Amino acid sequence: MRQKVIGILGGMGPAATSELFTRIINNTAAEMDQEHVNMVIINDPQIPDRLAYILENGISPIPKLQENLKRLSLAGAEVAVIPCMTAHSFIKELNKTSPIPIINAISLVEEFIQKYYPHYNKIGLLATDGSIGSKVFQRYISKDIVVPDNINQQEVMAIIYGKDGIKAGNVSEQVSDRIKKITDRLKKEKAEAVIAGCTELGLVMNEEKVQMPVIDPITILAKKVVEIGNNYVATIKR
């Protein structure tokens, strides 16, 4: 089977795009340059804010996303992936006009859960207000989703977007400690695992820190890219 060129529709944010690229490289069993995945990356931070559009009727990001999908195709990409989970709220609409197929990272999360945690009933979710409001994870995941209460959701947003948040470059131990307080609350709501539902959260969340299974969409997506781009079935570990 011929290897496919993968297009990364990025810039939402740049750190998430870089992290996906890094994890694709780290999950590729390569001994030379030529054995890595062939990728085209668009890092466009001028895409209108997804959160503002979903919650505040801001400028739609969809036209810019559609434009960038066409640019990826013209550059040679045959399959597209999107590091931003909130942008998956628009994936059905994007697929209607996209010249290349888009891999749905949240559907991959559902496959992962069914494979490794089929008997879990409730899964916690830390994500942006946009993803929570659009219920994009609930569209594709069959388990009961447990989200933070209003106060803790405000804290999630501060951790991601605050002046000392992850998007501002803060991936310190203090951020991890703040996240653990929220996941501890989700445990009390009977969550048996937690999804790092914003790519930036995956930079600071792991099972050792939060002391419960962490489902990381960006790692799952990276392994799928390796599989498609290199004809290599990666082993996704719990």
- Tell me which residues are annotated as active site: 84, 198
List b or e across 30-42, with b for residues whose CB sees 16 or more CB atoms inside 10 angstroms.
eeeeeeebebbbb
**3-class DSSP state of 7:** strand
DSSP 8-state symbol, 201: G
> From the centroid of its chain, how far is CA 70?
21
Contacts of 117 (CB under 8 A, 6+ apart): 123, 192, 193, 213, 238
What is the widest separation between alpha-carbon atoms in the chain?
50
Hey, what amino acid is at 131?
A: S
Sign of CA pseudo-dihedral 117, 142, 140, 177: negative
Single-letter amino acid, residue 3: Q
* Tokens linked to 151: 């106060």
Joined together, the tokens standing for residue 43 give: 């890092």
